[in-house]
Amino acid sequence: MDVNLIIEDPITGKQNLATEPKTENAIEERIAALELQLRVYKQAETIGEIGHWQINLNSFETWYSENIFRLYGFEPYSVKAHPDTFTPFIHPEDREVVINIFDKSYLEKIPIHLEYRILRQDGEERHLNVVICRLKLNSASCETMEK
């Protein structure tokens, strides 16, 4: 059976109708390739001790990558995702400044690049380097402080 696919470019987010019919086998191969990409991406986050998250600024629906949880000393998805899920773990001496900067970034729609300390669930102190940018749906551009 032939089916038509809408292909989304992972970089630009643009969607295009596939120009030639694809077989179910081709779809399964594409799904397998995407699953492999996801596994490699997750492994890279773990090795690089990085993570990412997304917050819908209209609904505040929040999603954290598995490694964000690990950076804070939790098993992936073991706590409910919310914009303030990890706020209590910001080092007490940094908390007020960090929250004020996050609030300013949100209210003024400006990107930030910030380093601060956290106290993990197990009590270990770590330094986080955070870059926050606004990424619009179907857009590959991300406003950051880096030029």
What count of residues does the chain have? 147
Domain residue extents for the chain: 1-48, 49-147
Task: Please state, in angstroms and rounded to a whole number, the distance separating the CA atoms of residues 141 and 81.
Answer: 25
pTM higher than 0.75, yes or no? no
Q: Which CATH architecture has domain 49-147?
A: 2-Layer Sandwich (3.30)
Reading the chain (147 residues) residue by residue, the pLDDT tens digits are: 555 556 666 556 666 665 555 678 888 999 999 999 989 988 988 898 888 888 888 888 999 999 999 999 999 999 999 989 999 999 999 999 999 999 998 888 888 899 999 999 999 999 999 988 876 665 555 554 332
Residue 60 is predicted with a pLDDT of 86
